[in-house]
Amino acid sequence: MPEKVLIVDDSIDNRRLLVRTLQKGGYELAEAADGKEALARTREFFPDLILLDIVMPELDGFQVCAALKSDPLTADIPVIFLSAKTETQDKIKGLETGGVDYITKPFDRGEVLARVRTQLKLRSLMKEILDKQKHLDEDLKAAAAIQACLLPQRPPELDRLTLAWKFVPCDLTGGDIFNVLHLDEDHLAFYMVDVSGHGVPAAMITVSVSQMLQPQGGCVKKKIDVPPYYEIASPLEVMQALDREYPFERFNKYFTIVYLIVDLSRGSVVYSNAGHPAPLRLHGDGRVDLLDKGGTIIGLNGLVPFEEEEIQLRPGDKIFLYTDGLLEFENHQGEAYGLPRFQTILRQVASQPISRILDTAYESIRTFGGNSPVLDDMTLLGFEYLG
């Protein structure tokens, strides 16, 4: 389908010359003899480009261009001014009004043809880019929806534990993922993963890791031949399995993970950590300490052994898992939110329910950052042991 060009000039001699010139380019052409006709013709003909004279009766070319640019239906049609007004200020005015080019008269026919070709090519490329962007956006939204499905949808209702979380990806898809796994009636597992980088590549690895950590995946809960026909893998074993499965060179990415198993009947937590920010324990009396046993990132193939620790919870104890995006969130002065601020906030609201504590912590982070952009995913999960 030929591209369409509208020629606007009050001089019939110019219109004839331009028609003759542009016919060589194989374009479909229409004409208008003044500014008002130009606007009407644009809305009927829908040109791909407009060649626009300036000095015309009724509306001049600047007024026509301004009207075209203010109408969403015509705003993206490129306008090339073609005028005997040769002063620099006229050219500036034309470009500032929204013209994409300015050719002075008397014009060289070859130059007009070349510039028309260029602008039409640019318009076509821009349309292609916008189309591709639209498809990419649709794919990203779909990927984000899939990733969102992998996250826990709502906190499970438990007698002995309450929990809540906040998840803020910096892109539509994120490199953070977390989950709560019901291993059996006495055991809950929590994990939080932070894959290096963010966006789609990191998100795809979170999908892979979350699949591996599903209870039926064989990693966190192993099948055995004797009743109860399953054995819960220790956090240490889980770290080791992940480290074997995800060497750095597999995806050129590494990730950190903290993995905890809560024994609801005994009120104990056993955990291990691979390079992830150490979970915080907020005691009922407001003391905060770090659960700091662990090892290095997943991906180094056992270079540094992982550690495991078991702690005993008291009723009212709260545990918080979080990703480094939270602590490293910077304000406009380049200052990071940091662990001490986070600990202070937790102490201040220690007696509040878990969900309220997370809301307060998140508000504190946003207030600190102002309208600074979020450059990394932020995830915060907390649970309270009720006894």
Which residue lies nearer to other proteins by CB, 33 or 345?
A: 33
* The one-letter amino acid at 386: L
Which residue lies nearer to other proteins by CB, 52 or 258?
A: 52
Burial, 189: exposed, middle or buried (Cβ in 10 Å; 0-12, 13-18, 19+)?
buried
* The one-letter amino acid at 379: T
- Least distance to other proteins from the beta carbon of 66, Å? 22
- Least distance to other proteins from the beta carbon of 82, Å? 9
- Least distance to other proteins from the beta carbon of 169, Å? 58
From the list 104-112, 117-125, 199-207, 216-224, the region that binds other proteins by CB under 8 A is 104-112
Binding track, positions 64-83, relative to other proteins; x by CB under 8 A: -------------------x
- Least distance to other proteins from the beta carbon of 103, Å? 10
From the list 10-18, 136-144, 245-253, 301-309, the region that binds other proteins by CB under 8 A is 10-18
Cβ 243 vs Cβ 142: under 8 Å:
no
- From candidates 4, 11, 34, 263, binder to other proteins by CB under 8 A: 11
- Least distance to other proteins from the beta carbon of 48, Å? 23
- What secondary structure does DSSP assign to 308-320, as a single string? EEEEE--TT-EEE
Q: Can residue 173 be called a binding residue for other proteins (CB under 8 A)?
A: no
Q: Can residue 59 be called a binding residue for other proteins (CB under 8 A)?
A: no
The H or E element spanning position 382 is strand 378-385
Cβ 6 vs Cβ 38: under 8 Å:
yes
- From candidates 106, 227, 228, 340, binder to other proteins by CB under 8 A: 106
- From candidates 59, 67, 84, 150, binder to other proteins by CB under 8 A: 84
Which residue lies nearer to other proteins by CB, 15 or 276?
A: 15
Binding track, positions 13-42, relative to other proteins; x by CB under 8 A: xx-xx--x----------------------
Q: Can residue 105 be called a binding residue for other proteins (CB under 8 A)?
A: yes
3-state SS, residue 264: coil
> In this structure, what are the phi and psi dihedrals at residue 133, rounded to the nearest 5 degrees?
-60, -40
Which residue lies nearer to other proteins by CB, 104 or 348?
A: 104
* The one-letter amino acid at 241: A
Strand 280-282 and strand 230-232: pairing? unpaired
- Whole-number Å distance between alpha carbons of 115 and 20: 16
Which residue lies nearer to other proteins by CB, 89 or 371?
A: 89
Q: Measure CA 198 to chain center.
A: 8
- Least distance to other proteins from the beta carbon of 89, Å? 16
**What number of H helices and E strands is found in the chain?**
11, 17
For other proteins (CB under 8 A), the number of binding residues is 16
3-state SS, residue 58: coil
Max Cα–Cα distance, the chain, nearest Å: 98
Closest CA to 85 of 77, 94, 75: 94
Which residues in 278-290 are b (16+ Cβ under 10 Å) and which e? bbbbbeeeeebee
Length of the chain, in residues: 387
Q: Can residue 283 be called a binding residue for other proteins (CB under 8 A)?
A: no
Q: Can residue 114 be called a binding residue for other proteins (CB under 8 A)?
A: no
- Least distance to other proteins from the beta carbon of 30, Å? 19
Which residue lies nearer to other proteins by CB, 76 or 108?
A: 108
Which residue lies nearer to other proteins by CB, 21 or 272?
A: 21
Q: Can residue 196 be called a binding residue for other proteins (CB under 8 A)?
A: no
For residues 237, 239, 241, 243, the Cα torsion angle rounded to the nearest 10 degrees is -150
Give contact residues for other proteins (rule: CB under 8 A). 10-14, 16-17, 20, 55, 83-84, 105-109
